[in-house]
Structure 1
Amino acid sequence: MYKTGKIAMWNESRMEAVYERPVNLSSFFHPATFLSVFKQDFARRKNTAMDDLRLKSSWRHTPGDGVITITNLLIEGALFEGSNITDCHANSDSINVAPDCHLSWVNENKGENDKAIKLPLYETNTREDILAYLNVENNFRENNKWIQAGVAFYVTC
């Protein structure tokens, strides 16, 4: 019932309304379709080819044209401290709520952040369907540590 109510609300609004308030991807039956529509809309508005775009993620508020805020993501295997990831504590849960993530699209040829690691965003904690890869700032020397820890984001458990 929750998802059908959300769909009815989305059908009545225009795409620009998406950029105005946080989006909870778990309210969609197919979050990958929403991300694809977001990319198509961005490419159309910027008059650029979809193949030339790559997803940019930020954990700091970055208002701007074509930025959406994703809320209620879950992270497993690490904790957030500001916009960086840190080790889980002995008494912390293995899955925690991540801060809001701000997504936009940029041209493929723009430079990448050397101090960021790309972590997968899965639809569920079964880790079957990857929706995207999200950049998270960290010490680049620790990338292998986070990969070995299996750090990942989920839309729902």
Structure 2
Amino acid sequence: MEYCRTVVAKALAIEGHWARCQQPGGGGLLDGSGGAGPLELSSVFHPGTFLNALRQQSARTLGCSMDMLKPVTSWDAAKLKAAAGSAPVALLGGMIMQGATFDGSRMAAVAAEAPAFRAVPPMSLAWLPKDAPFAYATYMEAPLYMTSERAKLLAKVQLPVSGPEEMDAWVLAGLSLFLTQ
């Protein structure tokens, strides 16, 4: 029964995204504006396949091979959209974080009595040429897993940090992002 509920929920979510994209002025999934709302990767049947399809579309748009691209993430959609140029940008939401709290610009330590998993704001992702700069001058790469079991790594996302000391502290805290608990 749980499998059937999940399939129906994912089908309804995809249908909802499709309907919003079809509305006049609704925006698309890959325009970076979030006009259709952020796409929750957990609502996609195969999130890894979606990310790879975005990579393929980016390679076609930029006229290069997929091997020449790297994922670049930002919590400032306008900043990434400007850096991406013609490359498609996806606004992804519904992720949770373990090991810290994040408001879109700064990370903070989790209080002892706080829940282990915290929601994070929607993130913009684009596949850009390997020589393109990242969205943040100083950043750390945190793993994005399918579930909290950390069995399937989807991507590494960049999070802003103030320097190496802060990055080391978050690595020791086991900072990770997940699509579902």
Q: Give yes or no for TM over 0.5.
A: yes
Q: For residues 150 and 11 of structure 2, what CA distance do their matches in structure 1 show?
A: 25
The counterpart of 1:124, out of the listed 147, 156, 161, is 147
Deviations 1:29-87 (A, max 9, x none): 21100000011011111211111110000012226341111011000010014412111
Hey, what does 1:142 align to over in structure 2? 166
The counterpart of 1:6, out of the listed 6, 9, 13, is 13
Q: For residues 93 and 106 of structure 1, what CA distance do their matches in structure 2 show?
A: 35
Percent sequence identity over aligned pairs: 27
Residues 6 and 82 of structure 1: CA distance in aligned 2, closer, same or farther (over 3 Å): closer
SS in structure 1 at match of 2:147 = coil
Which structure 1 segments of 5+ residues have no match? none
Bigger shift: 110-119 or 131-140? 110-119
Bigger shift: 106-115 or 77-86? 106-115
Q: Which amino acid aligns with 2:54?
A: F
Question: How do residues 11-26 of structure 1 correspond to structure 2 at under 5 angstroms?
Answer: 17-19=28-30, 20-21=35-36, 22-26=38-42
Shift in Å, 1:93: 1.3
SS in structure 1 at match of 2:180 = coil
Normalised to the residue count of structure 1, the TM-score between the two structures is: 0.88
Which structure 2 segments of 5+ residues have no match? 1-7
Q: Answer 1 or 2: higher relative contact order, Cα 8 Å, separation at least 6.
A: 1
Q: For residues 51 and 106 of structure 2, what CA distance do their matches in structure 1 show?
A: 24
Q: For residues 103 and 114 of structure 1, what CA distance do their matches in structure 2 show?
A: 17
Shift in Å, 1:7: 4.3
Hey, what does 1:39 align to over in structure 2? 55
Q: For residues 94 and 132 of structure 2, what CA distance do their matches in structure 1 show?
A: 28
Deviations 1:89-125 (A, max 9, x none): 2332110001110111111012344510000000000
Normalised to the residue count of structure 2, the TM-score between the two structures is: 0.77
